[in-house]
Amino acid sequence: MNIVDLIIKKRNGGELTTDEINYFIKGVTDKSLPDYQISAMLMAIFFRSLSPQETADLTLAMVHSGTTLDLSEINGIKVDKHSTGGVADTTTLILAPLVASLGLKVIKMSGRGLGHSGGTIDKLESIPGYNTDLSTQQAIKQVNNIGLAIIGQTSDLTPADKYLYALRDVTGTVDSIPLIASSIMSKKLAGGSDAIVLDVKVGNGAFMQDITQARQLAKAMVEIGNSLNKKTVALITAMDRPLGNNIGNSLEVEEAINVLKGKVKGRLKDVVLELGAHMLVLGKITNNLETARNMLNENIANGKGLDKFKELITAQGGNPHVCDDLSLLPQPTEKFTVTAKKSGIISQMDTAKIGRASVALGAGRTYKGEKIDLSAGIIMNKTVGDAVQQGDKIAELYASDIDKCNIAADILNESIEISNVEKKPLPTILEVIE
Catalytic entry in 122, 161, 350, 373:
161
Of 289, 72, 64, 52, nearest in space to 194 by CA = 72
168 included as an active-site residue? yes
DSSP-derived secondary structure for 154-194: PTTS-HHHHHHHHHHHHHT----HHHHHHHHHHHHHHTT-S
Give the separation between CA 301 and CA 263, rounded to whole angstroms: 10
Q: Give the containing element (helix H, strand E) for 232.
A: strand 231-238
183 included as an active-site residue? yes
- Helix 211-227 with 177-190: angle, nearest 10 deg: 40
Catalytic entry in 39, 126, 183, 358:
183
Catalytic entry in 81, 116, 162, 187:
187
Contact by Cβ (8 Å): 214, 201: yes
Catalytic entry in 10, 64, 78, 82:
82
Catalytic entry in 78, 105, 162, 168:
168
261 included as an active-site residue? no
Give the CA radius of gyration of the chain: 22
215 included as an active-site residue? no
Count of other CB atoms within 10 angstroms of residue 265: 9
161 included as an active-site residue? yes
Of 178, 174, 166, nearest in space to 31 by CA = 166
Beta bridge partners of 99: none
Give the separation between CA 399 and CA 372, rounded to whole angstroms: 11
Catalytic site residues?
Answer: 82, 161, 168, 183, 187
